[in-house]
């Protein structure tokens, strides 16, 4: 707050101030003001609970938004993986993948050499290999 010219009628010197005011407040304080001099400041106080509530609300909104974005991202990635990898590989299970998964059992083998492939075992030792029924 700045001292206006009208304020100086009472606050310039105790001699120029009204005598009733000098008797009431005394001659020590409230005098010596100059025109346009800053004489006061206005202080506004806000209860702490209001900003804390606003911060809590904002934090919850950000947290919920991050969780929703994370869930949506996981769902999109899951669907993308399903349609680009799982579904196409399931369609091709009827051919080569099915025979590759078959397990071999050996009957009446003369040799216990398990390092050879089933076809070379059959040729060299006379072993027969059978895969489980489809």
What average pLDDT does the chain have? 77
Tell me, what's the pLDDT at 120?
57
pLDDT per position as a tens digit, 27-85? 888 888 888 888 888 888 878 998 899 999 999 999 999 999 999 999 999 999 999 98
Establish how many alpha carbons lie within 13 A of residue 132's alpha carbon, considering only the half-sphere containing its beta carbon: 6
Q: What is the residue extent of each domain of the chain?
A: 1-44, 45-87
Q: How far from chain centre, in Å, is Cα 98?
A: 44
Tell me, what's the pLDDT at 115?
59
Give pTM, 2 decimals.
0.37
**Mean pLDDT in residue range 91-98:** 60
């Amino acid at each position: 707050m700045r001292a206006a010219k009208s304020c100086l009628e009472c606050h310039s010197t105790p001699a120029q101030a009204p005598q009733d005011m000098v008797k009431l407040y005394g001659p020590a304080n409230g005098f010596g003001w100059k025109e346009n001099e800053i004489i006061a400041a206005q202080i506004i106080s806000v209860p702490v609970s209001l900003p804390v509530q606003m911060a809590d609300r904002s934090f919850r909104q950000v947290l919920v938004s991050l969780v929703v974005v994370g869930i949506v991202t996981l769902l999109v990635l899951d669907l993308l993986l399903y349609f680009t990898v799982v579904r196409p590989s399931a369609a091709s299970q009827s051919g080569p993948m099915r025979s590759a998964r078959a397990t071999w059992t050996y009957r009446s083998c003369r040799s216990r050499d398990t390092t050879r492939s089933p076809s070379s075992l059959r040729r060299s030792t006379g072993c027969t290999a059978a895969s489980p029924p489809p």
